[in-house]
Structure 1
């Protein structure tokens, strides 16, 4: 299993981030979405296609609440192998807390924290993230016998 910037699932999303996301959500202008994007992924600019997708989703109403951290037993039940990748400068996750928790509950798991990257770590460090995921999958690619 590969998790890329799984905010709120392993460690709690910081309250200040949730409050800021709510504030950004109230500004549905193009400038508001671009400001939120810059906050989440500093240095990256939304493409016109990405902005069009954001505009298309503005009418969508989320039926579930914010992600809640999995309970210890839930997280520990993940069968290795597991790779979790976080942006070291993420504003919506707590990479050090997630790394500590995964180390305790899933000692065989791999955790990568990409320094300077935010929530959009895959877009900010594409080669590093893709290479790490592909390498991880190659090391754990098991084909059942007889197939």
Structure 2
């Protein structure tokens, strides 16, 4: 449904749409949140993820992510929504599609996640020697990007050097 709504938007639209499901008794109600301003998007996503830290899409485990830590019949582990996001972010950073905190926050919002998910991933990448950036934090927050207008570049490390 959300895909059909997005298709109806003009190509030039900056409107971001996010689905959220509410379970009350046996009923499930769907709502769509839409906003153009990054602060509204950031606030909505932070509230949604604080209500459900497993997948942020509903007030219940809509994707059965809590069961995905088990291996399937073939010994493969299904990734949770957060694990998939971190894997995609890592790939985009290493492919230089995301080179700084501004691009990272845009990707975070586009994917319906919160800055903490990206920060955790980027800190892990720095710890593993895959990337480097100045300071301790990758600065993937609304405050750093829009309010304080801080830009932090991520440098790819190759064979232990930058």
- What is the TM-score with the length of structure 2 in the denominator? 0.23
Greater relative CO, 1 or 2 (CA 8 Å, sep 6+):
1
TM-score normalized by the length of structure 1: 0.25
Would you tell me which structure has more strand in proportion to its own residues?
2
